[in-house]
Amino acid sequence: MAEASSGPAIQVEGLTKSFGEVRALRGINLSVPRGTVLGVLGPNGAGKTTAVRILTTLLRPDGGRAVVEGRDVVRAPAAVRRIIGLSGQSAAIQEELTGKENLELIGRLYHLSWPDARSRATELLEQFDLVDAKDRPAKTFSGGMQRRLDLAASLVGHPKVLFLDEPTTGLDPRSRLGMWGVIRTLAARGTTVLLTTQYLDEADELANTIVVFDHGQVIAQGTAEELKSQVGGDVLEFVVPDRSRINDAVAAIKPLGEGEPHVDQDTAKISVGVGSRSSDALIDAVRSLDAAEVVTHGLALRRPSLDDVFLALTGHAAEDDADAPEGKRRGRRQGSAAADDGAKGRRGKSS
């Protein structure tokens, strides 16, 4: 039991889970120190949600061990439930009830008295900037407000460990930033957070440590900086509209990059890691491509994305292995038409 007070908040050893033929988890190991944020990064079908469902006692693992605050999720699920909060991929709120009623309901189910449930609801509505909407049915809320209410609901019981499964999937950029602010505040107050995401920038913003899942395995672990150093810093990216010139373009920029340029044949997009030479590399690239008389489109520098991390780690892009369930509308990969925006979109963000 001493482990409960001094060990990590979450300890996972050799966790496995299969659904029929599909091996969703193939031996996951994780250790999350108290009061830190772990970002679990990976594409759809990588096993992120399965891991969260096991840790929150919703699913029994086939093998291995998972312990939350010293409580084993298989042997003491009730004890685990008393100290965790879960906010899933969709807003698990009752749309016909008002914001206040939703939180009071959860409070009552945590066995708070009516006055305590009411004051906890009021407190959370204030904290999550939902006071103005508290008496409106939740179905009139915007997507971002519904997700904030859902997150508030997961905090009613003062959880020591909070599980957030893709908390910003499907949100518009502004709501996403709002959500980040809320999660940062929680982390600053000492709540241990396990957060899954498909977005490297999100993990980068929020997590102390990141683990990368692919095909049910942890393929990399470290801080955002460590992962990015594996990619090799910034990425230079452009589209070659005339596909017959792709090889010339690759030849022209190859000397500038650190590692092989990657060519996406579908979109005629070429990307190459340029390390810390960022702006020099950009200028050199313009010169080289000009000298080679290759016409390019949307030439820009951007910060490494999940795809780049995956390319660097596995040699394959973070393709969707499974069909994206509803609510996962946001594509990670920028289509060719959006290449310009894609290249610029993630810049200008503090690191």
List interacting residues with another protein (CB under 8 A).
Answer: 1-2, 4-6, 53, 56-59, 70-71, 76, 78-79, 81-82, 84-86, 88-94, 96-97, 101, 105-106, 108-111, 137, 153-154, 157
Q: Which is nearer to another protein, 43 or 85 (CB)?
A: 85
Is-contact 54 47, C-beta < 8 A?
Answer: no
**Look-up of token digits 């991929």:** 89
Q: Minimum distance from CB of 333 to another protein (Å)? A: 26
Strand partners, 344: none
Q: Which is nearer to another protein, 105 or 282 (CB)?
A: 105
Q: Give the chain's end-to-end CA distance (angstroms, integer).
A: 40
Output b/e per residue, 254-284; b: 16+ Cβ within 10 A.
Answer: eebbeeebbbeeebbbbbbbbbebeeebbeb
Output b/e per residue, 196-215; b: 16+ Cβ within 10 A.
Answer: bbbbbbbbbbbbebbbbbbb
Q: Minimum distance from CB of 90 to another protein (Å)? A: 5
Question: Given its phi and psi angles, is residue 71 left (phi above 0), alpha (psi -120 to 50 degrees) or beta?
Answer: beta
Strand partners, 273: 235
Q: Which is nearer to another protein, 151 or 210 (CB)?
A: 151
Q: For residues 253 and 297, give the distance between their C-alpha atoms in angstroms, rounded to a whole number.
A: 15
**Look-up of token digits 């990368």:** 212
Q: Among 349, 343, 347, 319, which residue's Cα sits nearest to residue 331?
A: 319
Q: Minimum distance from CB of 212 to another protein (Å)? A: 25
> What is residue 105's three-state secondary structure?
helix
Is-contact 206 212, C-beta < 8 A?
Answer: no
Q: Minimum distance from CB of 111 to another protein (Å)? A: 6
Q: Minimum distance from CB of 273 to another protein (Å)? A: 38
Q: For residues 217 and 206, give the distance between their C-alpha atoms in angstroms, rounded to a whole number.
A: 22
Q: Minimum distance from CB of 209 to another protein (Å)? A: 23
Q: Which is nearer to another protein, 13 or 101 (CB)?
A: 101
Q: Which is nearer to another protein, 193 or 210 (CB)?
A: 193
Q: Which is nearer to another protein, 157 or 232 (CB)?
A: 157
Q: Which is nearer to another protein, 163 or 213 (CB)?
A: 163
Q: Which is nearer to another protein, 4 or 283 (CB)?
A: 4
The two three-digit tokens of residue 96, written as one number:
């016909």
